[in-house]
Structure 1
Amino acid sequence: RYSWKYGIKKCQYFSLLSSSPIELNIKMKKLIDSRQYKQALDLFDRQLQMSTNVTFTLALKACSQLNDHQWGVRIHEQLSLKSLKDPFLQTSLIHFYSK
């Protein structure tokens, strides 16, 4: 079954991968907004090479909602030094580690 309430299929995996970082971020945001945190993280893992600071922020939010410390630490370890200077990512990391 599919639900188009949030503009995407409510299924465990998307049938097509995102073609751009913006599309990836939109899909992850929609999944998170519909409380499909695990699916958002699965999508993040499958398209890591396309991730931006926004994508990492969304992934950390999903980890916070799932209380998945191990997955969040793994995401943190993948951040570059440049990314760690991003104030939005810093805030996401603080929120993640404070839970």
Structure 2
Amino acid sequence: GPPPPPPPPPPPPLEARPPLRLRDRVASPSPPPRRSPLLRLLSSQQDPHSPPPLASPSPPPRVGRRSSAGSAAVRDALVQARRLAEEHKQVLDLLESLVSEEEEEEEEEE
């Protein structure tokens, strides 16, 4: 008669199988980090409503002549850069004052 069908291969030993629990742990998203109020303040400094001046379409400057539109855009960019620098300085001052306050507290504890 015909030969009997080959027996099915035995299941691999448990050690060879990847541990399911570990894979699940990796796949699950980690909880979002708690945002400190300082971070929130820093992100609120970037105003999403004010578009960068370079994003506005300006007419191409005429060859051989500085167009007034071009210099106006440069001036706008300069004004915005100064404003940003001022805001960054305020944030830096705030950070420094927070750090110095923490250091003073540590000295008082001892």
The reply to whether TM is greater than 0.5 is no
TM-score (norm 1): 0.22
The higher radius of gyration belongs to: 2
Q: Identify, as 1 or 2, the structure richer in helix.
A: 1
